[in-house]
Amino acid sequence: MSSRPQSPPPGAFAIVHSRYNDEVVNALVKGARQILGQHGVQPGDIHVVEVPGAWELPLAAAYLADDEEVVAVIALGCVVRGDTRHFEHVADECARGLMTVQLESGIPVANGVLAVERYEDAQRRAGGELGNKGEEAALAALAMARLAASVS
């Protein structure tokens, strides 16, 4: 496999991110934007939208997937386990909602929402020793957008 980035398919890439845990989420967004740029996506073709929390990500992803310019959506956020079951509700339903959006719309939705035990675990996945899951989500979005363009 070539190490040189392939050209992106024509269209816009949407990044939708939550406001909670902003230090981690901002690092994920930065990583996603950098990868998209390295792969030839022009700054004007990167649409960034902020929502209150991970719970709102699937609905925002659905709105963005309805935009005819958008060829892929990248959802980024961070849910940290607390002392209540709220973590499971938010993390699980966010993932289920994002999967539903991509299956119903036919637009790839990359899930870069971290669901972690501790905030430190998120930091390790947002540019720390375990890489940047925002970058990984952007790479997945690029790959799936290319696939979609090749079969349509």
* CB-CB neighbours of 44 under 10 Å: 7
Token readout for 26 is 């901002």
Residue 86 designated active-site: yes
Residue of 17, 47, 86, 89 with catalytic role: 86
Report the C-alpha gap between 28 and 110 in whole angstroms. 13
Query: Which residues, other chains included, contact 58 with Cβ-Cβ below 8 Å and sequence gap of 6+?
Result: 75, 93, 94, 96, 97, 98, 100, 101
Gap between the Cα atoms of 10 and 6, Å rounded: 12
Q: Among 115, 124, 17, 13, which Cα is nearest to 69's?
A: 13
The Cα 108–Cα 67 span in angstroms is 13
Catalytic residue ranges:
86
